[in-house]
Chains A and B, each alone.
Chain A
């Protein structure tokens, strides 16, 4: 796997688990599995493995905690707060959040995401649209309260 793919995997686990330690472990685990796999490592394959690993981690660990030690692995763009994403992570449905994360943050095509998740493209589009509207609503609400 190349560096770009590794970064993509880590970003996925970081934004979906919001736990740096777990994100690193999950990244390593996923990379090992993908490297062992004899099939070509394409985006569909990566999406499929990402979801499997995410489900496995969710069943065994408490989630949604940022470790106290700031490791500075992620360099956020200026003016962008992780708070909105954390709130969205808590309040949105998992499917919508994953669609937004895979399609818009990691920039994987909707077609590849649909194949990796074994659903139709229309389903991914629907989830994406709904997820983005929900995210925008939370951001607007947060700004109005600020």
Chain B
């Protein structure tokens, strides 16, 4: 006698379709009928299955009109069109093409906009500074290249071993003046002839290039050790403030170096004071750094007399 089958609700549910279509053998059929009798949910499932099959059987009788084949043939001709091809492209390619097109348009717009309207446009000019190690010495030469000038700045970050190098500017955008105090008994002739005050090409001695300016003062002395502290004191009295990295009156082998800013109103007082110790050569140059209104920036170099230098306007000076 065959063993009586019993089905769980899960198994019975899986067999409902075969049961309804008569694909089960007698044993399974009876077992499933017993399970159905016992479960309301299974009976509901069976009813739903019947409804679904009824609907699908009708849906499968759907027919296609002859117009479909006419349209398909027409579309075959137009399927080469760009729009149709575009629609069938995979999404990643369409996204890539669309984003590239948008990027191109943005770049084009930015390129066509006048530069003054661009928010990141700046009027500042940047100048490169080179720091070169000179052979056999530990000197550091700092050069600044600015348009139309050949200025070498006198700043060094190494106090012990670096030497200051000064080069006279040679172009016409700077103003060079020589101040001599007629009453000065300590005047010492400078090593080389200096150009007498000749205004620059610009009328009124105005600075032609750059928006800021710097005053370079050159003088010499027999006793820089004694003079330097006095000059420092005077600068401080006149409201001078250290502007560079080194201290005011930085003593070197060949002279003393002062880099400072001060109120413009005291500039004359300073130059008059310095004339007491000898002729002062003043070079006024354009510079990238713009000082606040009413303030001037100065670099003063007091050369020690007797140091082995060649004070040539057109060449750089090197101290021992």
Residues in A lying within 8 Å of B, measured CB to CB: 3, 6-7, 10-11, 15, 24-25, 27-29, 56, 59-61, 71-77, 79-80, 84-85, 100, 104-107, 125-126, 128-129, 131-137, 139-140
CA distance A132 to B57 in the complex (A): 11
CA distance A56 to B59 in the complex (A): 26
Residues in B lying within 8 Å of A, measured CB to CB: 13-14, 16-18, 45, 47-53, 55-65, 67-69, 71-72, 75-76, 79, 84, 87-91, 94
CA distance A75 to B59 in the complex (A): 10
Q: Return chain B residues, CB-CB under 8 Å to A61.
A: 87
CA distance A30 to B71 in the complex (A): 16
Q: Is the CB of A60 within 8 A of B60?
A: no
- Determine how close the nearest CB of chain B comes to the CB of A137; give it in whole angstroms: 5
Q: Is the CB of B14 within 8 A of A105?
A: no
Q: Is the CB of A133 within 8 A of B14?
A: no
Q: Is the CB of B59 within 8 A of A28?
A: no
Q: Is the CB of B48 within 8 A of A73?
A: no
**Interface pairs A-B: 10 shortest CB-CB:** A136-B52, A136-B48, A136-B51, A132-B52, A135-B52, A129-B17, A73-B68, A104-B56, A137-B48, A75-B63
Q: Return chain A residues, CB-CB under 8 Å to B76.
A: 28
Q: Is the CB of A136 within 8 A of B75?
A: no
Residue of A nearest to B73 (CB): A28
Q: Other than the known A56-B90, A74-B64, what 11 A-B pairs have Cβ atoms closer than 8 Å?
A: A7-B64, A25-B88, A60-B94, A71-B67, A73-B68, A75-B65, A105-B62, A129-B17, A132-B56, A134-B52, A135-B51
Known contacts A56-B90, A75-B63, A136-B51; decide if A24 and B57 are in contact (CB<8 Å): no
Q: Return chain B residues, CB-CB under 8 Å to A132.
A: 17, 48-49, 52-53, 56
Q: Is the CB of A128 within 8 A of B94?
A: no
- Determine how close the nearest CB of chain B comes to the CB of A1; give it in whole angstroms: 12
Q: Is the CB of A59 within 8 A of B64?
A: no
Known contacts A61-B87, A125-B17, A129-B17; decide if A136 and B50 are in contact (CB<8 Å): yes
CA distance A99 to B84 in the complex (A): 30
Q: Return chain A residues, CB-CB under 8 Å to B72.
A: 6, 24, 27-28
Which residue from A24, A59, A106, A136 sits with its C-beta under 8 Å from B71?
A: A24
Q: Return chain A residues, CB-CB under 8 Å to B52.
A: 100, 131-137, 139
Q: Is the CB of B62 within 8 A of A77?
A: yes
Known contacts A59-B90, A105-B59; decide if A73 and B53 are in contact (CB<8 Å): no
- Determine how close the nearest CB of chain A comes to the CB of B70; give it in whole angstroms: 10
- Determine how close the nearest CB of chain B comes to the CB of A21; give it in whole angstroms: 9
Q: Is the CB of B60 within 8 A of A106?
A: yes
CA distance A28 to B13 in the complex (A): 40
- Determine how close the nearest CB of chain A comes to the CB of B121; give it in whole angstroms: 42
CA distance A23 to B88 in the complex (A): 12
Q: Return chain A residues, CB-CB under 8 Å to B71.
A: 24, 71, 73
CA distance A76 to B61 in the complex (A): 7
CA distance A102 to B62 in the complex (A): 14
CA distance A100 to B49 in the complex (A): 12
Q: Is the CB of B60 within 8 A of A107?
A: yes
- Determine how close the nearest CB of chain B comes to the CB of A103; give it in whole angstroms: 9
Q: Is the CB of B53 within 8 A of A104?
A: yes
- Determine how close the nearest CB of chain B comes to the CB of A56; give it in whole angstroms: 7
- Determine how close the nearest CB of chain A comes to the CB of B75; give it in whole angstroms: 6
- Determine how close the nearest CB of chain B comes to the CB of A32; give it in whole angstroms: 9
Q: Return chain B residues, CB-CB under 8 Å to A10.
A: 64, 68
CA distance A126 to B112 in the complex (A): 64
Residue of B nearest to A85 (CB): B59
Known contacts A25-B88, A74-B64; decide if A135 and B47 are in contact (CB<8 Å): no
Q: Return chain B residues, CB-CB under 8 Å to A105.
A: 56, 59-60, 62
